[in-house]
Chain A
Amino acid sequence: AVVSTQSTGEYSWWQRFLIRCLLAGTLPKHVAFIMDGNRRFSKIRGITRAESYLMGFEKIGEVLDYCEVFGIKVVSVYAFSIENFKRSEEEKGELFRLFEEKMTYLLGNLEKLNEKGIRIKVMGDISLFPGHLTKLMADVQLRTAHNTEFCFNLCLSYTSREEMTNSVRTVVEGVREGRLEVSDITENLLDRCMYSEDLPPVDLLVRTSGEVRLSDYMMWQANFAVLQFARVLWPDFGFLHFVSSLLDYQRQQPRLAELRERYGEFLEKMRDWEVRGMEEGSEGRQEEFCVELKRRRREVLEEFARRE
């Protein structure tokens, strides 16, 4: 696999059978993971926390392989929350070292990433990390930004509320600067101002370790997603667990698709109301605003990447 340092090897006959069965149904375009349970895993297995985190990282590579097989286009993982900055210096140090190692590995494999069309995106306020990490994260994003086949979305220094607040702040600034009118602010515009920008909405959100909350993760994007709270700990998450998540998605998806369509109708009705109140040139202004926002964000990344 390109993204992990280990290969998953061949699939057995029953795995190939299950894969072919699942491919006969609908599969999600965007899957998000809350990779919970690393610390509990280290306690249960009697290994160090650092070893457990490393196994967790390797697990990401394995899961990305599965996603490739099932044709899933975007995978998001909750790697580090803003709340996690409260952890001990020692634990943060372990995690930052791992991030640095993995980012460096990715930068060393750029050719393969670009060949396969894999885009690495980082969602969150990366300026909160130590400077050298911020630089690496910015670099890896800039060098793979043009890829469109597959997106690996890392949520680092991220919380959903911070993201939503940032999006609101962005559009309010836009109105203050005269680039937008108040009536230009629609759900679609707020969506495009989120860190996720043009990524498709989350179809399936899987949280491991049995916890049943979202912990401030992609609440906006996963508003209509299938939520799966799996009891298994993240380093133990395997092929069958993933198949079970996908089967759950297939079972729930028709009802959610219907609700989404109804929501689309509801938004259309609101849009009619909005359009009547909307001033001329609104769509054009929104488009220009989003293009400018992307440019500014790219500039920020370039600034980070230029740092020593």
Chain B
Amino acid sequence: SSGINAEYGHNFKRINLSSRMMFEGFLFVIHLFLHTYCQLQVIAQSAFNLLRWWRLSKWNVDVLLAHTKNIGRVPSHVSLVFLEEGVPVEDLVKPVVWCICLGVTTISLYDYYGRLRSKNIDIDKEIREYYTSFTKSSKTSPKSEPRAKIQFVSVENGRTDLVNAARTLASQAVKECCPSLITQTVVEDYLKVFSHDNPEMILKFGTLNSLAGYPPWPVHLTEIISLPTCHLISPTDFVDSLRRYNKIEKRVGK
């Protein structure tokens, strides 16, 4: 039977051109189905939200808090990973504001090229505007200015951060003021981004199933919750993600 197995990898190349083209054709059809299915998920999320737009637009911080009262734990650091192009700023600030309302203390926004970082002033302004309108009609006592830390991360903060930490430690070694034993804690001390502040949950937007250059160090125990898109995102999508996060049993090796 190992003879039959060995046939495919090597002998496949010996198949005539028309047979190969036929299999390429079949593969194309399979991928067409998969792609359509994927796109339908994206469209379904947006369409569903559009249909309920009238009801969803009435959501404010009180409704959000009511829906998340018994949801379990709210992570203290949430990372929003945007792996899709062309998300309007009004949509991408929504999950940021919802996190702030739920008491998330650190929110990091990741996009590969760092375009969000270059627009951070606009985004900051949008966040404040949306926060104001979302908490405006709140019946509970007005909260003081939200205390969440918002940071922008891109691929430049990925592996490069660890390389720079190694270089800093090495320069110190030359000057003989380097810690004598380099432990994981020491390495983390020297990271510029996510130093001792690891995201507990990644909310990933887009159909790309990858971390695509996200900093490798902090994600060892991060739960990666995916949503097809951030376009027309609704608070119920967000609440569902939190519910999924809480359903997970965090075993940590045991």
Contacts and interface: CB of A to CB of B under 8 A. Distances in A.
Interface in B5-29: 5-6, 8-9, 12, 15, 20, 23-24, 26-27
B30 A247 contact: yes
A186 B252 CA distance: 32
B249 to A, nearest CB: 9
A182 B165 CA distance: 11
B134 to A, nearest CB: 28
A164 B182 CA distance: 11
Contact of A227 (B26, B173, B184, B224): B224
Interface stretch (A126-134, A211-219, A231-239, A279-287): A211-219
A225 B99 CA distance: 28
B52 interface: no
A185 B167 contact: yes
A10 B213 CA distance: 40
A43 B85 CA distance: 44
Interface in A157-176: 159-162, 164-165, 167-169, 171-172, 175-176
Interface in B151-191: 155-156, 158-160, 162-163, 165-167, 169-171, 173-174, 178, 182-184, 187
A237 to B, nearest CB: 17
Contact of A11 (B4, B9, B155, B248): B4
B14 to A, nearest CB: 12
Interface stretch (B67-75, B121-129, B215-223, B231-239): B215-223
B35 A251 contact: yes
- Count chain A CB atoms within 10 A of each CB in B34, B156, B212, B248 and give the residue with the most: B212
A159 B220 contact: yes
Interface string A70-87: 110000000001111111
Contacts of B119: none
Nearest to B113: A262
Contact of B170 (A11, A20, A82, A171): A171
B212 A71 contact: no
Interface string B129-167: 000000000000000000000000001101110110111
A182 B213 CA distance: 24
A123 to B, nearest CB: 16
A233 to B, nearest CB: 14
B211 A227 contact: yes
A175 B23 CA distance: 54
Contacts of A228: 209
B254 A87 contact: yes
Interface of A: 1-2, 7-11, 16-17, 19-25, 65, 68-71, 81-87, 159-162, 164-165, 167-169, 171-172, 175-176, 180, 182-183, 185-187, 190, 211-216, 219-220, 222-229, 247-248, 250-252, 255-256, 259, 262-263, 266, 270
Interface of B: 1-2, 4-6, 8-9, 12, 15, 20, 23-24, 26-27, 30-31, 34-35, 38, 112-113, 155-156, 158-160, 162-163, 165-167, 169-171, 173-174, 178, 182-184, 187, 208-214, 216-217, 219-226, 248, 252-254
The 9 closest A-B pairs by CB, nearest first: A83-B253, A216-B220, A219-B216, A175-B170, A71-B9, A24-B24, A24-B23, A169-B182, A21-B27
